[in-house]
Amino acid sequence: MKTTLSTFIDRLKADGHRITDARLALLEVFLKEDRPLSVPEIQQLLKKRHAVNKTTVYREVEFLLRENIIVTTNVDEKRGTYELAGTHHHHIVCKECSTTEEIHSKQLEAILQQLEKTVAGRGQFANIRHTVELFGLCVSCQRHAV
């Protein structure tokens, strides 16, 4: 079941938080893009529709992180990226241009889930989650490297 904007609004209101224009705009961006985003990318996407300054974007990203609405990803080695929590994806990322694609592999996911169960079974960790980011050169950057 895909999470909707109203789901996030209801959750934030239930927790006693205000729904500001900036907060709403950020949620809309994350729902529409459905990919990891850096703060500069978020700012660029917001410029098209909303006047939200850089400080506000950083503050709202921190708020959404604290509320577990978004999570940090490692798809860009140069800067932090974020995506909606619970949108479990694995990625392959170009080291040159940062082009990012999702990796869809039931086999990989089964292996990682088994690993999580094994680690949890040892009793040292709980609430385990995983991310996988592979890095390489995309076709376009390979052509330029020749």
The Cα 58–Cα 38 span in angstroms is 10
Nearest 10 degrees: CA dihedral of 110, 133, 139, 42?
A: 120
6-46 per-position pLDDT tens digit: 999 999 999 999 999 999 999 999 999 877 888 998 999 98
Residues sharing a CB contact under 8 Å with residue 126, sequence separation 6 or more, in sequence order: 120
Q: What is the DSSP letter of 85?
A: T
Of 54, 87, 120, the position where a domain reaches its end is 87
More confident residue, 60 or 3: 60
In this prediction the pTM is 0.70
Is 139 found in the same domain as 70? no
Residue 71 backbone zone (phi > 0: left; psi -120 to 50: alpha; other: beta)? beta
Is 94 found in the same domain as 83? no
Identify the CATH number of the domain in which residue 58 sits. 1.10.10.10
114-146 per-position pLDDT tens digit: 998 898 888 888 877 777 888 889 999 998 876
When pLDDT is averaged across residues 46-70 and rounded to a whole number, the result is 88
Structural tokens at position 82: 């974020």
Identify the CATH number of the domain in which residue 134 sits. 3.30.1490.190
Residue type at 27?
A: L
